[in-house]
Amino acid sequence: MQNPASGPSVRGSMMTDPKVRAWAFQLIAIAAVLAAGWYLFHNTQSNLAQRGITSGFAFLNNSAGFGILQSLIDYTESDTYGRVFVVGLLNTLLVSVLGIAIATVIGFVIGVARLSPNWLISRLAAVYIEIFRNIPPLLQIFFWYFAVLRAMPPPRQSHELGETVFLNIRGLYLPSPGAGEGLWPFLIALAVALVASVVLVRWARARQEASGQRFPVSLGVIALLVVLPGIAAAVAGNPFVWTVPELTGFNFRGGWVVIPELVALTLALSIYTAAFIAEIVRSGIQSVSHGQTEAARSLGLRPGHTLRLVIIPQAMRVIIPPLTSQYLNLVKNSSLAAAIGYPDLVSVFAGTVLNQTGQAIETIAITMSVYLAISLSISLLMNWYNKRIALVER
Amino acid sequence: MKIVKSTLVSAVTVAALGLSAQASAGTTLDAVVKKGFVQCGVSDGLPGFSYTDARGNFLGIDVDVCRGVAAALFGDASKVRFTPLTAKERFTALQSGEVDILSRNTTWTSSRDAGMGLNFTGVTYYDGQGFLVSKKLGVTSAKQLDGAAVCIQAGTTTELNLSDYFRANGMKYTPITYDKSDETVKALEAGRCDVLTSDQSQLYAQRIKLADPEAYIVLPEVISKEPLGPVVRQGDDEWFNIVRWTLFALVNAEELGITSANVENLARSSQNPDVRRMLGAEGEYGKDLRLPRDWAVKLVKQVGNYGEMFERNVGMGSELKIQRGLNALWNAGGLQYAPPIR
């Protein structure tokens, strides 16, 4: 009698029960979303069929028949559209990885320089940031591609370095290594050196924690990595046979070529993104209370150590989340490649393949899901790293 | 900005195909009549075919085809609006309904005709793919191009023919692809590539865009068949018929000696039954096409016959100075032939 949920008016109470209502509304919402999705899918299907446009993913097995400027895997014109997709994807990933790496390095350097007590250094960093983050990335790509790299000489008048490295309007030609007689001993020595380095680092850390004495770890590691493989090469013979690019006919052949499209895109994206990263790094460092610096100084740490051991680790907690966004932006901006003919996923797959097959919906859907997948992977990775360095509360 | 645009076009297609209610046959004509103009997809700047002059007027053979359709339909060749499209954007723009006709030097192939929901209405220009090189290279034949860097426009049959040709001759090449034909020309001039390949007509057009056209030659080899023509959406026969018979009327007019100068006189006084039927003096042949009785008069009066169109845009009356060649009438040794209007 006192409980409104029981008694004669059961129906009314069901409707007024907030839990039931919440469930009901959620179910209705889900049903509406599913219905809309089904409607879109079904309507697209019937419209495509009615207009006589081929649909489905069978086209991925057809042979492509066109060449691609740069591919990281073997690709010939008789390969399938599916393989073109992989080639484009790898080219996108290549420019993204290079861009992220370079942008991070430049960004951290500029960000730290921005806070330098040296007036000139901090002003130069400020000028860098204000210039590059305020010019649209597409224009920066055009600048590097059309203004800088188009000014290189033709192949026959290449800039050269010791007749092994050549730079011209077609790209940077480098010698490429092949397996020589001493390759295996060299690789084994390198592996041994790597293992020894890990052991050395651990030993040095343990010693420092036990005795407080420091060991010049980086010098030791460098020595190991240079000396051991060096001895192996000296004993067993040359580990690599270098193929030097050679001017035959129209172009250089042999060796590696770094195409100007890749250089322009990587430079523009990393320089642009680095300006944002620099500001993120600056704000991260400034978020660490000055008391931390003073405490570190009073413990006798040198400024370099203070920065590396005290400030940066704490600043990282502030830096990582916005840094993730910048990485995502860089990956997404890499689709501007199409503007200068760099064969990335958008240019080759969502462009050429779409046009050759006419299957807009499928190619665009695949391309969008790929970018989504790349971005989500970067987010996951960065979130994992963020958790790892988060403040452990005791 | 073009990437943004091509992505937009694709996105619009996806949205249009997803959201639009079932399109039924015959809607293009009704829609065109209702809005009062023809929306025509043309190229992004190709002298002779479709380009804009200093005052922003669209000119060229492809442009004239669309003007012709507007003249036949509305009696007014100016009732047409143009959408410049890159090679990559063109089919999605037509499929999504953004344009009513795609008149953009597009090669007729089986996969485009059958697999993309498109219909080719005829051939406005019989073309073939060729090569443009700098004279400095000293190349006289395409067979000497082994190892060359080749500039191409992305998403064209050119890309496919090029690879076929080099493969068939056991030669290697480096493809340098750009979205716009202008970019390929600039890249050739800068030396990013050794050769530019495209349909021969385009090569002549692109050559005059170069700073020093005399320093470049078009190689003699023609490596493919490129019949270029206007395209409409499949499944809309009414509209297809109008575009197709506009083309046929242009060719028939040349064959019958009807020109923009004499068409009105002939319509009144000609005794030739072929001419009388075509110009509406005898019978009601426009009616079947849902066109006005005097559609062919308006068409020829305003854009001329096929021969006039050719000479004015790409032939001796233009900068390109291209010979009629394959594009002469069938009775003059060429391939242009149109079924009779009766």
The correct answer on CATH 3.40.190.10 for the domain covering B127-224 is yes
Q: Measured between CB atoms, does A341 come within 8 Å of chain B?
A: yes
ipTM of model over 0.90: no
Give A-chain residues touching B137 at CB under 8 angstroms: 250
A281-294 burial, b if ≥16 CB within 10 A, otherwise e?
Answer: bbebbeebeeeebe
Give the per-residue pLDDT at A1: 45
The reported pTM is 0.80
SS3 state at B210: coil
- B152: enclosing H helix or E strand: strand B148-153
Dihedral sign for Cα B225, B231, B233, B238, please: negative
Task: Say yes or no to pLDDT of A388 above 90.
Answer: no
The answer to whether the Cβ–Cβ distance between A352 and B88 falls below 8 Å is yes
Paired tokens of B260: 């923009």
Give the per-residue pLDDT at B11: 54
We find that the CATH architecture of domain B27-126+229-255+300-327 is: 3-Layer(aba) Sandwich (3.40)
SS3 state at B197: strand
User: Which has the higher per-residue pLDDT, A21 or A367?
Assistant: A367
Question: How many Cα atoms occupy the beta-carbon half-sphere of A206 within 13 Å?
Answer: 6
Give the per-residue pLDDT at B15: 57
The answer to whether the Cβ–Cβ distance between B146 and A249 falls below 8 Å is yes
Query: Over the stretch A207-256, which tens digit does the pLDDT of each residue have?
Result: 888 888 888 888 888 988 888 888 888 888 788 888 888 888 888 888 88
Cα separation, A282 vs A276, whole angstroms: 10
Q: Are strands B173-178 and B148-153 parallel, antiparallel or unpaired?
A: parallel
Give the per-residue pLDDT at B25: 47
- Numbered ranges of CATH 3.40.190.10 in chain B: 27-126+229-255+300-327, 127-224
The answer to whether the Cβ–Cβ distance between B148 and A47 falls below 8 Å is no
Give the per-residue pLDDT at A10: 52
Which candidate from A78, A169, A351 shows the least CB-CB separation from B155?
A351
Give B-chain residues touching A355 at CB under 8 angstroms: 87-88, 90-91, 154-156
pLDDT in tens, chain B (342 residues): 444 444 555 555 555 555 554 444 458 999 999 999 999 999 978 889 999 988 989 999 999 999 999 999 999 999 999 999 988 889 989 988 999 999 998 999 998 998 888 999 999 999 999 999 999 888 999 999 998 999 999 888 899 999 999 999 999 999 999 988 889 999 999 999 999 999 998 898 888 888 888 899 989 889 999 999 999 998 889 999 999 999 999 999 999 999 999 999 999 999 999 999 999 988 888 898 999 999 999 999 999 999 999 999 999 999 888 889 899 999 999 999 999 998
Please name the residues between 195 and 234 in chain B that touch chain A, using a CB distance below 8 Å.
233-234
Give the per-residue pLDDT at A309: 87
Residue A258 burial (CB < 10 Å; 0-12/13-18/19+)? middle
Angle among Cα A132, A96, A376 to the nearest 5 degrees reads 110
Residue in chain A closest to B191 (alpha carbons) equals A154
Cα separation, A326 vs A324, whole angstroms: 5
Q: Are strands A176-179 and B38-43 parallel, antiparallel or unpaired?
A: unpaired
Give the per-residue pLDDT at A134: 95
Give A-chain residues touching B146 at CB under 8 angstroms: 249
Q: Which residues contact B209 (CB under 8 A, 6 or more apart)?
A: B47, B182, B185
The answer to whether the Cβ–Cβ distance between A341 and B154 falls below 8 Å is yes
Query: Over the stretch B252-276, which tens digit does the pLDDT of each residue have?
Result: 999 999 999 999 999 999 999 999 9
Give the per-residue pLDDT at B14: 54
Task: Say yes or no to pLDDT of A54 above 80.
Answer: no
Give the per-residue pLDDT at B8: 53
As a whole number, mean pLDDT of residues A355-378 equals: 91
The H-assigned helical ranges of chain B are 2-19, 27-35, 61-74, 90-95, 110-115, 157-168, 181-190, 200-207, 237-255, 263-269, 273-278, 285-288, 295-303, 306-313
The answer to whether the Cβ–Cβ distance between A66 and B175 falls below 8 Å is yes
Provide the pLDDT confidence category of residue A303 given band limits of 50, 70 and 90: confident
Which candidate from A52, A66, A357 shows the least CB-CB separation from B117?
A52
The answer to whether the Cβ–Cβ distance between B154 and A351 falls below 8 Å is yes
Residue in chain B closest to A38 (alpha carbons) equals B18
Selected for mutation to probe chain A from B8, B14, B186 (highest A CB count within 10 Å) is B14
Query: Number of Cβ pairs closer than 8 Å across A and B?
Result: 160
As a whole number, mean pLDDT of residues A310-335 equals: 92
Q: How high is the mean pLDDT of chain B?
A: 89
Q: Measured between CB atoms, does B236 come within 8 Å of chain A?
A: no
Give the per-residue pLDDT at A249: 80
Length of chain A: 394
Provide the pLDDT confidence category of residue A359 given band limits of 50, 70 and 90: confident
Give the per-residue pLDDT at B37: 95
As a whole number, mean pLDDT of residues A172-183 equals: 85
Provide the pLDDT confidence category of residue A124 given band limits of 50, 70 and 90: very high
Q: Measured between CB atoms, does A36 come within 8 Å of chain B?
A: no
* Cβ(A169)–Cβ(A161) below 8 Å: no
Give the per-residue pLDDT at A11: 57
